[in-house]
């Protein structure tokens, strides 16, 4: 018998979490019909549900059940426990054979500092749940290592185990062919948070004045900087559609603050699918297993120059990168999910 499935999250997550859930629900729609629960956590006051999730639920004819007293299913999948970080109780009971918490955010930042009050969030879930197995499901290898390190050093980690496989974001984007004539048109896009941007020194290396163009989408804070370089094209977050932005670049150069790392890197997957060469730091690149170029900022311009001089290699590497996205396809997710379903009977205390 197919186990019953329940999804739990705060539906107001604005970025990757809601997009990931929407894609998952679509991917598994012919395998199971999950119940979907929405928690109104203290993290998102005065914010609407994420449209991508609302649309997905509507398309699948699923009803969002808000703030239930109890959630009961064979497998309960709790997406992104960080939504509980500003409160002390989830406000619901969870009864499950297997409780899986998908850890969309890194538990630790570079340097080992907690990225959020992980113990508080996990303890809330553990305290409110009766489950044979409680698992943490990292979204990538990079994310997994932060979860492992946290579990090793924190007593609350003993109440959890890690899933064997990652629980990746589905990156089922339409693939666009690479340009045959790449130019030194660089860009980056992200939310405008300070964690998403590296130091000014690194930005200068990534987007030098001799680049043909440098488009920075999500540059809300940079626009306030009176010393911003005139050759940067700064566009606020959502000031341009992502498709329009991709039309303006051939190279995606993406570095973050040294004190923060992407847990998955959905924006990089988007760029790969859009037919761009993506250059980032080695830690962020590892998720895509060769699909993006790992480099230090001072190597960026040489890498770009090399590709411009060799358009065939540019096209070949873009296509190779797009093939690396197969690991994040809906089909790959369904295989992983099928395994989870089949193992649900094995869940033990």
What are the residues binding another protein (CB under 8 A)?
A: 85-86, 109, 111, 113-117, 120, 193-195, 197-200, 221, 224-225, 227, 257-260
Minimum separation from the CB atom of position 265 to another protein (A): 17
Minimum separation from the CB atom of position 257 to another protein (A): 5
Minimum separation from the CB atom of position 328 to another protein (A): 27
Q: Which is nearer to another protein, 110 or 311 (CB)?
A: 110
Q: Which is nearer to another protein, 193 or 229 (CB)?
A: 193
| Residue 165 CB-density burial (10 A; 0-12 exposed, 13-18 middle, 19+ buried) | middle
Judge whether 169 and 21 are in contact, CB under 8 Å: no
Q: Which is nearer to another protein, 197 or 207 (CB)?
A: 197
Q: Which is nearer to another protein, 43 or 100 (CB)?
A: 43
Angle at 41 between CA 31 and CA 170, to 5 degrees: 35
35 beta partners: 6
Q: What is the CA radius of gyration of the chain?
A: 21
Minimum separation from the CB atom of position 262 to another protein (A): 13
Judge whether 172 and 23 are in contact, CB under 8 Å: yes
d(CA 145, CA 137): 11
Give, as one character, the DSSP assignment of residue 327. G
Select from 234, 204, 195, 232 the least CA-distant residue to 217: 234
Q: Which is nearer to another protein, 68 or 192 (CB)?
A: 192
Minimum separation from the CB atom of position 192 to another protein (A): 9
Judge whether 18 and 50 are in contact, CB under 8 Å: yes
Minimum separation from the CB atom of position 113 to another protein (A): 6
Q: Which is nearer to another protein, 127 or 258 (CB)?
A: 258
Minimum separation from the CB atom of position 315 to another protein (A): 36
Q: Which is nearer to another protein, 114 or 165 (CB)?
A: 114
Written in H, E and C, the secondary structure of 84-145 is HCCCCCCCCEEEEEEEEEEECCCCECCCCCECCCHHHHHHHHHHCEEEEEEEEEECCHHHHH
In the numeric block, the tokens 């956590």 are attached to 41
């Amino acid at each position: 018998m197919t186990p019953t499935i329940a999804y739990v999250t705060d539906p107001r997550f604005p970025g990757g979490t809601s997009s990931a859930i929407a894609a998952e629900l679509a991917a598994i729609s012919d395998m199971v019909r999950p119940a979907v629960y929405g928690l109104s956590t203290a993290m998102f006051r005065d914010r609407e549900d994420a449209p991508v999730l609302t649309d997905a639920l509507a398309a699948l004819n699923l009803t969002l059940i808000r703030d239930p007293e109890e959630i009961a299913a064979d497998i309960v999948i709790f997406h992104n426990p960080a939504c509980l970080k500003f409160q002390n109780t989830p406000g619901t009971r969870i009864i499950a054979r297997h409780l899986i918490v998908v850890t969309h955010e890194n538990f630790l930042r570079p340097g080992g500092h907690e990225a959020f009050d992980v113990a508080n969030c996990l303890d809330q879930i553990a305290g409110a749940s009766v489950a044979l197995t409680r698992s943490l499901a990292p979204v990538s290898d990079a994310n997994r290592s932060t979860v492992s390190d946290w579990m090793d050093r924190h007593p609350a980690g003993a109440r959890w185990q890690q899933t064997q496989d990652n629980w990746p974001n589905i990156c089922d984007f339409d693939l666009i062919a690479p340009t045959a004539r790449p130019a030194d048109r660089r860009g980056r896009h992200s939310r405008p948070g300070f964690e998403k941007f590296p130091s000014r020194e690194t930005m200068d290396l990534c987007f030098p004045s001799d680049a043909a163009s440098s488009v920075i989408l999500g540059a809300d804070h940079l626009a306030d900087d009176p010393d911003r370089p005139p050759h940067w094209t700064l566009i606020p977050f959502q000031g341009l559609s992502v498709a329009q932005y991709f039309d303006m670049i051939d190279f995606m150069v993406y570095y973050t603050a040294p004190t923060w790392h992407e847990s998955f890197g959905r924006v990089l997957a988007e760029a790969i699918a859009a037919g761009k060469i993506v250059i980032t730091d080695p830690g962020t690149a590892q998720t895509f297993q060769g699909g993006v170029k790992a480099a230090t900022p001072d190597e960026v311009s040489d890498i770009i120059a090399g590709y411009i001089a060799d358009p065939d290699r540019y096209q070949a590497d873009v296509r190779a990168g797009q093939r690396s996205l197969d690991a994040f396809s809906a089909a790959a997710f369904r295989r992983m999910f099928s395994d989870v379903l089949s193992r649900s009977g094995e869940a033990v205390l």
